[in-house]
Chain A
Amino acid sequence: MSRGLHQFLEREPHDLTTNPSPQNPLLDATGVTKNYGAVAALRNASLSVLPGEVHALMGANGAGKSTLVKILTGAIKADAGRILIRGQQLDVRSPADARRAGLLPVYQEPALIPDLDVLSNLRLTGTPVEPFRAWVREIGIPDLDIRETARHIPLAILRVLDLARALAVEPDVLLLDEMTAALPANLAEKVLEVVRRQGDAGRSVIFISHRFVEISALCDRATVLRDGATVGVVDIEPGIEERIVEMMLGTRIEKTRVAARAANEVAVAVGGRPRLSVRNLQLGTKLNDVSFDLANGEVVGVFALEGQGQDELFAALAGSIRPTGGTIDVDGAPVKFSHPSDAIQAGIAYVPGDRAEALAMQRSVRENIALPFSAAPRKWGPIRMRREQVVVSSAIGRLQIDTRAQGEVQRLSGGNQQKVTIARWIAANARTILCFDATRGIDVGTKQEIYKLLRELAGQGKSVLFYTSEMEEVQRVCDRVVVIFGGRVVDTFPVEEADEAALMRAAYGLPRGAKADVGILAEVKPGSSAEAAS
């Protein structure tokens, strides 16, 4: 009989009141180490969570957050280290063990089985249904049909259901990985409120996020990881952000906003015939009427709440789905894309937000970057290895991809993976890049690098369409921003006027007051926003 099972049988049913002293951490991990081949994902990580605290786990991508979380929840085994829960050393050999110990994670990717309905998913994990429904209502989804198949539920809702499922079993330690990513603002707010109340109720939460606003509003303390080691534990107080960033990066954060602004002014001078011209684009019920232009040397932002048709817009421009109406012109000539290769032929490349969608995870960095080179049948012959090496290395160098684990892309950190998906199109010299939430869930440092790269590309006369769910990114990267609501372009701002209030109003479909429209798209129908809002 295994040691783990003995411990499980002997353990008392856990009750927080038996061990409430704040000096005794609920969860105490020290010296946690994990190597993947030659790469050390964790060198010496520690994490100590007190009862009733919301504890932020922070670190740049590749710092080891995900690895630590996976070890805590039993998804992978550590090479060394000690984990105490309620003062007891514990074997966490599987997610089920972690669950029995009162540790429950909610990962970035929803863990519901797509082909089962919500109720069956609940039964699968033995989750009580009534508490689950209560939590779902609490978070602000009053009309959930639990007979709905998970596959048909939008991502944002799925994440909420995942959270509610975890809350329903009342875990002692709840692990939230980028919980608010991909959530529309209203849902995110509710979720944060619920998390805060967990702390008040004496339960602990480990909260992983890149958003300082959330962390300062929510967390009591933060543990900061860098390069697989814990570099500090701080109390969250006003003004702590700078220090945390310093700890995460090891250096002072670069002020790229100024640099970006300067680059913008250069870019505005570029013009002429639009690179991409979209008119009255329609796609079923998802896109009703989208028109805008993208000039050479321009970065146009697309801002929208969850599910307003932005996915379909990008898919149509990338050649993944055919629009049902409207026209797309590239360099003044009409095009009809029936496959992504048509779009690529026209120099239009698509970078999806989900890296798992764009990368062959078991293949090398080099093969992933060089993939488009072999796509067409006339390129199926022998590869000119040396020339490929030169092109790939230059793209790797330009994006500063960390190539220590280049043999398999799946061993790279999320930020580096995202860089590979962009490097591919730098190597292929694409003239237009469609970036769909390309900075989702990656660290501050890598984000900065990507912003800088996009500005550089614009400076070279290339054009970028940039969808983001984070408003501050609009300010940092874009020359103009197009706001989509209900499948229509409801407004267009030059970046100087795209302050958060204006964007938010437009994204919720509210009219902009008496101010005149600016930009190429001056023909927004007067009734459209009101109609879409109703």
Chain B
Amino acid sequence: MTDIATMPQPVSFGRRLKRFMADRPLIPLIVLLIILVVILQILRPGIVNERWIANTAKFAIPLAILAGCQTMTMLTGGIDLSVGTVATMSAFIMATQIVNQDPAVAFLLAMLPAVLIGLVNGIGVGVFRVHPLIMTLGTSLIGTGFLQVYQRTVIASGARIPDFLNWLGTGLTYGFPNALLLFVPVAVLIVFVLNRTGFGRLLYAVGDNERAARLSGVRYWQVITALYVLSSLLAGITGLLYIGLIKAPSLSLAEPLVLPSVAAAVIGGTSIFGGRGGYTGTIIGALILTVLTTLLTILQMPEGGRRILFGFIVLFVTAAYLRIIEDR
């Protein structure tokens, strides 16, 4: 350890490496991802092939989009725990409405709860200053309740997965998952919004110092409302993609993705306190979590042990990563 009492010494290799990493925070994440893949290949020689990669991508994509919602809300110092419910609602409504409705109408009906929940979240957080954690948890519970009511009283027709969503969720073209057709534009859009638009700038500014943003003429509620609506819309679209992948509509379809989506954003280097982070890290975070899940699955541990290990690894990686990239 260096400290002030030690004599001057040349900058050590460790320090230089740390500084290098601090300037390029993506590199340690990519290295970790590669290490995980290598471990997987060692444990199960031959598992890492074209099919496995396509499969991993398919499962990582819904997680990555939801983690995009978390990234954007976390940049403002918030969080969106309602993404799971929103995704489930739009998926469930799509699958049940497609039976009797025109696909376009079914799509609009499916996106309606997403917009509504986003609006309520945004107004709650932006205007009434409810803490985002509580607000989105609340709307999430309300949404789930409504979905139960909907299931019992409205539908009598059963459910069907539209062919197009099936194709998008599971299909491959030349070995590439079709889901990339949705994901690439979405990812480009998020990165562009964060780095090259006024709205993106405001997300960072509001999260870093809300008072400074206010003094610069930014109206907090406008930014926050737009943000949570955007987040919910993305979650709704993810729900449609996810139902095409899972193919079994249920009332807790996307719920298991919520906490991993938060973890992916945090592992990707986005600060939960706001003002710091970006989407590229989040994408790699989502990939890391997906590969990690595969890894733990092939270890043939009991479910409980797997979860414990998963939790510990996520904690360890996040703590280690933050230490590496923060050059203090």
Given A360-B213, A385-B196, A424-B216, is A367 in contact with B3 using a C-beta cutoff of 8 Å?
no
Complex CA–CA separation, A350 to B5 (angstroms):
44
A80 on the interface (CB 8 Å rule)?
yes
Given A362-B275, A363-B204, A363-B275, is A350 in contact with B215 using a C-beta cutoff of 8 Å?
yes
Q: Which B residue sits closest to A78, measured CB to CB?
A: B4
Q: Which A residue sits closest to B15, measured CB to CB?
A: A79
Cβ contact within 8 Å between A375 and B7: no
Q: Which of A83-91, A280-288, A442-450 contacts B (4 or more CB under 8 A)?
A: A83-91
Cβ contact within 8 Å between B198 and A373: yes
Given A91-B5, A360-B208, A360-B213, is A37 in contact with B327 using a C-beta cutoff of 8 Å?
yes
What B residues does A80 contact at CB under 8 A? 6-9
B245 on the interface (CB 8 Å rule)?
no
What B residues does A363 contact at CB under 8 A? 204-205, 208, 275
Complex CA–CA separation, A66 to B196 (angstroms):
35
Q: Which A residue sits closest to B220, measured CB to CB?
A: A339
Cβ contact within 8 Å between B201 and A374: yes
Cβ contact within 8 Å between A362 and B219: no
Complex CA–CA separation, A79 to B192 (angstroms):
38
Complex CA–CA separation, A76 to B2 (angstroms):
12
Cβ contact within 8 Å between B8 and A81: yes
Q: Which B residue sits closest to A407, measured CB to CB?
A: B23
Complex CA–CA separation, A92 to B3 (angstroms):
8
Complex CA–CA separation, A360 to B209 (angstroms):
5
Chain B 1-27 interface mask (CB, 8 Å, partner A; 1/0): 011111111010000000100110000
What B residues does A385 contact at CB under 8 A? 196
Given A374-B198, A385-B196, is A340 in contact with B214 using a C-beta cutoff of 8 Å?
yes
Q: Nearest Cβ distance between residue B115 and chain A, in whole angstroms?
A: 17
Cβ contact within 8 Å between B216 and A375: yes
Cβ contact within 8 Å between A71 and B4: yes
Cβ contact within 8 Å between A367 and B201: yes
Q: Which A residue sits closest to B19, measured CB to CB?
A: A37
| Total interface residues in chain B, CB < 8 Å | 38
Q: Tally the A-B contacts, defined by beta carbons under 8 Å.
A: 129
Given A91-B3, A340-B215, A359-B209, is A381 in contact with B197 using a C-beta cutoff of 8 Å?
yes
Given A32-B4, A77-B3, is A360 in contact with B219 using a C-beta cutoff of 8 Å?
no
B199 on the interface (CB 8 Å rule)?
yes
What is the interface of chain A mostly: helix, strand, loop, or mixed? mixed
What A residues does B9 contact at CB under 8 A? 80
Interface residues of B in 55-84 (CB under 8 A from A): none
What A residues does B6 contact at CB under 8 A? 80
Complex CA–CA separation, A31 to B276 (angstroms):
34
What B residues does A502 contact at CB under 8 A? none
What A residues does B205 contact at CB under 8 A? 360, 363, 367, 371, 374
Cβ contact within 8 Å between B2 and A352: no
What B residues does A352 contact at CB under 8 A? 215
B257 on the interface (CB 8 Å rule)?
no
Complex CA–CA separation, A81 to B208 (angstroms):
34
Q: Nearest Cβ distance between residue B54 and chain A, in whole angstroms?
A: 33
What B residues does A341 contact at CB under 8 A? 217-219
- In the complex, besides A79-B8, A91-B5, 17 extra interface pairs with C-beta distance below 8 angstroms are A37-B22, A76-B328, A77-B3, A78-B3, A80-B6, A82-B7, A339-B219, A357-B209, A359-B212, A360-B209, A371-B218, A375-B202, A380-B197, A380-B202, A381-B199, A382-B196, A382-B197
Residue numbers of B with Cβ under 8 A of A are: 2-9, 11, 19, 22-23, 192, 196-199, 201-202, 204-205, 208-209, 211-219, 222, 226, 275-276, 327-328
Rank and list the top 4 A-B pairs by shortest CB-CB distance, nearest first. A374-B198, A80-B8, A341-B217, A360-B208
